[in-house]
Amino acid sequence: MLKKILLVVVITSIFGACTVSEKAEHQDNPFFVEYNTPHGIPPFELIEPAHFMPAFEAALKENKDEIDAIVNQKAEADFANTIEAFERSGEMLDKVSSVFYNLNSSLTSDTMQAIARELSPMMSRHSDDVMLNPQLFARIKAVHDKANDLSLNAEQQMLLEKMYKRFVRSGALLDQTAQDQLRKINEELSMLSLQFGENVLAETNKFEVVIDNKDRLEGIPEGFLAAAQEAAAVAGYDGKWLFTLQKPSMMPVLQYANDRELRKILFNGYIMRGDNNDDFDNKKILSRMASLRAQRAQLLGYENHASFVLEQNMAKNPENVNELLDELIAAAMPMAKKEAQELQKLINKRKDGITLEPWDWWYYAEILRKEKYDLDEEEMRPYFKLENVRDGVFETANRLWGLQFVLKPEYPKYHDDVLVYEVTEADGSHIGVLMMDFFPRASKRGGAWMSSYRKQYRTAEGEMVNPIITTNFNFTAPSAGKPALLSWDEVQTTFHEMGHAFHGLLSNCTYNSLSGTSVPRDFVELPSQIMEHWAGEPEVMSYYARHFETGEIIPQDLIDKMQKSATFNQGFAMAEFLSAAALDMDWHTLTEAKEYDATEFENNSLKETGLIPEIVVRYRSPYFSHIFSGGYSAGYYSYIWSEVLDSDAFEAFKENGIFDQQTATLFREHVLSRGGTADPLELYVAFRGKEPSKDALLKNRGIIE
């Protein structure tokens, strides 16, 4: 109620101080009114870039007034008037931020990026003003100090503990001089992170290879050539073929093109992003970021940035992460060397007269896969029509938890490519809204991700606020009269991101800051990665893997080939991933806060892992967006950490039946619905009945029988 009263007062004061033209501007700004849309979806058709800054300015002012109201009250601090009041503050700021930052990832522009640059220091200063507010922290600490005397439920206890730690970790216990230093570090880091991401996007978008001689494209399947020809026509290169650094454009070249030079050009273009000594070079930016993170960690009393980050993760400390990485690296690198030798033997047998290089790996691995398993990835693709795969995930969720997905073309969406669904329980009751955005464009960052326009929570009156979830992909678009046909990797990516979506959709928490995917980084990948296991189950494939022309179910012999080849090339996959995870840890276990030569530092890190020259680390530092412009600094290891969890967790389904209702219910109740309301290991054990074992991961990766 306090927040609602403040909102009315603040907006009234804003309008009261405005000129007639400013009042009209605010009245026309969709962020200043309640959304008149189904389920409160943002009215994208009404939102313009010019609306963001006025809305942010008002939202920041409103949030400041809310904080002032908390700290200036005369009543003694208690859970309701301080902890819950702070938790429920910033509603308008959340409203505007969720739209802006999601659109800046999926539908950016020069204007949006300019706003982001203007906004970044403002948001950093505001965050520090709140987290370093001594009166606010004093009230939170007062409640925290008497926590044992309060009759709090488990979720309230977790909210209090996490809120207190958040303030401490943000510098609330530092003296004024140290806090001033911390503010400067945070503001500079926010700008550098933004610039890093913009540079990667610019590098990706500016690179193109135009081919006018079809002979150079020999080996590339016709479907990909048609897509390249359509892309060329759109770009003004009629009668030619255009290739870019977007994965759906680049990978067919690396995998199938007989022209080795063409493979090399695309490969080097990809791995040199952010490393071309031009306006988009990221080497000095990332080195400065690593130094600033080390400074900040030490200012806060930690040995290094990784120690600061991992304190709140399941891993707890860098030593535990490095122990896992070292064990897996020791197994993976010999596997990778053996695979490289096998590929070189294949090259020699074919008398191709070359020495294996990184841009050759995918090409010869595909040839070897056909030779060893009679399996051509292109043979699988016709069975993976995008719409069928999407519906296959929906059917899987329906069989597990009774979820229903109803397409709603009339719901607001930010781009014509986006599909919007209402998600309901089996009885038709509303769960949330799901957006799916499948195809690449210049205004969209690469990769795949899940986010939210609104998280699930309950109001102060106990009313459920349902989530609005968005999933983003970069798959090959339909072309030449054919639908979008996915690779097996893209099928797994679809199931993966939908696992994140289910984590957000099925959340059943009281507090926004604890709901959905608000869990430790090395636990958040459990719901996504476990979904990948269903993708390859024959029972599941029987209802989504159907030939796009004939409707024929994928043949059992093809499934058998896929399963037999499941551990093929795993040395390569593990080597490129683990070396990236180790590189992340090396950048973030620095104890000397100085700036390093990024290339030399990276080379030394990769030498330590024993990465062979035929393989390039999955993410080189200058385009390692996960750790320098995403949320995975000192956290890229979490994918393999979570793989221990998801491999072990899926064993429960294999033991009881992959659609066993009791197991599915346990997973929903103890993992998907609980968010960050309890210790993740406790949640896992409540589901599984025991702590996770690495055995399932080692079997899946082919490390042990």
3-class state of residue 481 by DSSP: coil
3-class state of residue 303 by DSSP: coil
3-class state of residue 608 by DSSP: helix
**What gap in Å lies between CA 434 and CA 41, rounded to an integer?**
10
**CA distance to 29, 410, 632, per residue, from 44 (Å):** 12, 12, 29
**What gap in Å lies between CA 266 and CA 257, rounded to an integer?**
11
DSSP 455-479: --EE-TT--EE--EEEEE--PPPPB
The string over 130-139, giving b where at least 16 C-beta atoms fall within 10 Å of a residue's C-beta and e elsewhere, is bbbbeebbeb
The string over 62-101, giving b where at least 16 C-beta atoms fall within 10 Å of a residue's C-beta and e elsewhere, is bbbbbbebbbeeeeebebebbbbbbbbbbbbbbbbbbbbe
**What gap in Å lies between CA 160 and CA 134, rounded to an integer?**
17
3-class state of residue 694 by DSSP: coil
Question: HEC string of 11-39?
Answer: HHHHHHHCCHHHHHHHHCCHHHCCCCCHH
Residues taking part in catalysis: 497
- Tell me which residue of 11, 52, 56, 53 sits closest to 33, measured CA to CA: 11
Query: Amino acid identity of 60?
Result: L
Question: HEC string of 157-194?
Answer: HHHHHHHHHHHHHCCCCCCHHHHHHHHHHHHHHHHHHH
**What gap in Å lies between CA 637 and CA 315, rounded to an integer?**
10
Joined tokens for residue 107? 């539908």
Give me the residues paired with residue 455 across strands.
Answer: none
**What gap in Å lies between CA 6 and CA 79, rounded to an integer?**
19
